[in-house]
């Protein structure tokens, strides 16, 4: 069952005020904050912010309703100090990978939400983007515009560094990740260029090697190293596998009436989210001329918008990095509806 239950142009977009506390945060400008608040407008109790970052979404969700608790998760040790800056007893931070959502949740979902009942998990938010601070700090190694170490780890739990990938992986392995994680047209040329230029010392060197491997006409559009850096970052952090595992846990553990929302930034992420959500939204697949359902399939979720929501023009102007964001939201149906 699917319906446009999230307004594409919510009323608060017309206001001059609103929840803007995070927009002045020098750490990270949280993307589509208003849309996230709207997505969880019916949700009380425990919400997991699975990608805490600078805390903008957690702050906004707590500010919007008093009957909420937030379990904030992040791989980055620096995020813990950001959480300490939110002086609200309703927020608890735990460092980890959202692929381990179920174990990180622990007993938090069993806490009483104040109505005498076990609260359960009522919502999960994933914001899959790399934080602005990570992009702007050369020492993290995410930027192809600045010189920094070949790192790209989102946290110390990452299985590799960018240096491992760039300087030790085989040419065919590089081709595979460039094609699979970056949908890079010139994957083979770039991989050959990387292998020939080894050892590659830093991010600037890597960006120059990639640029030199790309035909001149392709360099006139977006930065030629953009897709290569994305591919290496995904490989370093195991991002797509973590997303699949985290989504499965979230949709399984959220209680009926709860919601799962995902902000994605490139087609690979969005494709995984779309397919996973679609598998839970689909109901009976029997031919329409059959008088009785024989497949036994029932919908477990409903989508809250026919298409993913996009940031407003005003937000893109304020924060150009939000341009590629896509927000998808689903709500878990009660057993009797399913």
Here the CATH number for the domain that contains residue 55 is 3.40.50.150
- Judgement on whether residues 185 and 244 belong to the same structural domain of the protein: no
pTM (global) more than 0.75: yes
**What value does the mean pLDDT take over residues 216-220?**
81
DSSP per-residue codes, 161-179? -HHHHHHHS-HHHHHHHHH
pLDDT tens-digit map of 41-50: 999 999 999 9
- Judgement on whether residues 276 and 226 belong to the same structural domain of the protein: no
- Judgement on whether residues 191 and 68 belong to the same structural domain of the protein: no
pLDDT tens-digit map of 183-197: 999 999 999 999 999
- Given 203, 237, 271, the domain boundary residue is 237
- Given 237, 266, 298, the domain boundary residue is 237
Residue that is written with structure tokens 């993307």 in the block:
31
- Judgement on whether residues 281 and 303 belong to the same structural domain of the protein: yes
Looking only at the bridges linking them, the beta strands covering 259-264 and 326-332 are: antiparallel
| 317 φ/ψ angles, rounded to the nearest 5 degrees | -65, -40
Please tell me the predicted confidence (pLDDT) of residue 17. 34
What domain range includes position 228?
Answer: 159-237
Please tell me the predicted confidence (pLDDT) of residue 321. 87
Residue that is written with structure tokens 């070949």 in the block:
150
pLDDT of residue 8 exceeding 50, the answer is: no
Binned at pLDDT 50, 70 and 90, residue 284 comes out as confident
- Given 209, 237, 265, the domain boundary residue is 237
**CA 249 – CA 138 distance, rounded (Å):** 34
Residue 107: which H helix or E strand, with range?
none
Sheet containing 326-332: order of strands = 91-95, 68-74, 45-49, 121-127, 259-264, 326-332, 301-303
pLDDT tens-digit map of 19-29: 333 344 445 57
**What value does the mean pLDDT take over residues 51-77?**
95
- Judgement on whether residues 187 and 112 belong to the same structural domain of the protein: no
Residues for the chain: how many in total?
A: 338
Cβ atoms within 10 Å, residue 222: 9
- Judgement on whether residues 207 and 291 belong to the same structural domain of the protein: no
- Judgement on whether residues 100 and 50 belong to the same structural domain of the protein: yes
- Judgement on whether residues 56 and 96 belong to the same structural domain of the protein: yes
Note whether 128 and 51 are within 8 A (CB). yes
pLDDT of residue 107 exceeding 80, the answer is: no
- Read off the CATH number of the domain in which 174 is found: 1.10.150.170
- Judgement on whether residues 207 and 328 belong to the same structural domain of the protein: no
Using the CB atoms, write b or e for 208-217: b if 16+ within 10 Å. Answer: bbbbebbeee
The number of domains in the chain is 2
Domain annotation covers residue 153: no
- Judgement on whether residues 219 and 250 belong to the same structural domain of the protein: no
């Amino acid at each position: 069952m699917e319906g446009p239950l999230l307004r594409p142009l919510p009323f608060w977009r017309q206001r001059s005020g609103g929840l803007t506390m995070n927009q002045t945060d020098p750490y990270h400008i949280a993307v589509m904050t208003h849309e996230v608040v709207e997505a969880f407008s019916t949700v009380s109790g425990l919400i997991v912010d699975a990608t805490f970052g600078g805390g903008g979404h957690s702050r906004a969700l707590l500010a919007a309703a008093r009957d909420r608790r937030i379990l904030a998760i992040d791989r980055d040790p620096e995020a813990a100090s950001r959480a300490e800056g939110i002086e609200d007893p309703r927020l608890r931070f735990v460092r980890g990978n959202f692929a381990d959502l179920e174990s990180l949740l622990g007993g938090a979902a069993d806490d009483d939400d104040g109505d005498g009942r076990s609260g359960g998990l009522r919502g999960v938010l994933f914001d899959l983007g790399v934080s602005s601070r990570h992009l702007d700090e050369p020492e993290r190694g995410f930027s192809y515009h600045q010189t920094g170490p070949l790192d790209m780890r989102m946290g110390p739990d990452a299985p590799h560094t960018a240096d491992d990938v760039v300087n030790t992986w085989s040419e065919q392995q590089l081709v595979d990740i460039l094609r699979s994680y970056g949908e890079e047209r010139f994957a083979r040329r770039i991989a050959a260029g990387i292998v020939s230029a080894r050892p590659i010392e830093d991010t600037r060197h890597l960006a120059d090697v990639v640029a030199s491997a790309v035909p001149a006409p392709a360099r006139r559009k977006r930065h030629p190293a953009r897709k290569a850096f994305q591919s290496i970052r995904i490989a370093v952090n195991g991002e797509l596998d973590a997303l699949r595992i985290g989504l499965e846990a979230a949709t399984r553990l959220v209680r009926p009436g709860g919601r799962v929302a995902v902000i994605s930034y490139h087609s690979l992420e969005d494709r995984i989210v779309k397919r996973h959500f679609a598998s839970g939204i689909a109901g009976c697949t029997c031919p329409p001329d059959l008088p009785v359902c024989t497949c036994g399939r029932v919908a477990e979720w409903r989508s809250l918008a026919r298409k993913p929501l996009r940031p407003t023009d005003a937000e893109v102007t304020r924060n150009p990095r939000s341009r590629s964001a896509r927000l998808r939201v689903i709500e878990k149906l009660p057993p009797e509806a399913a």
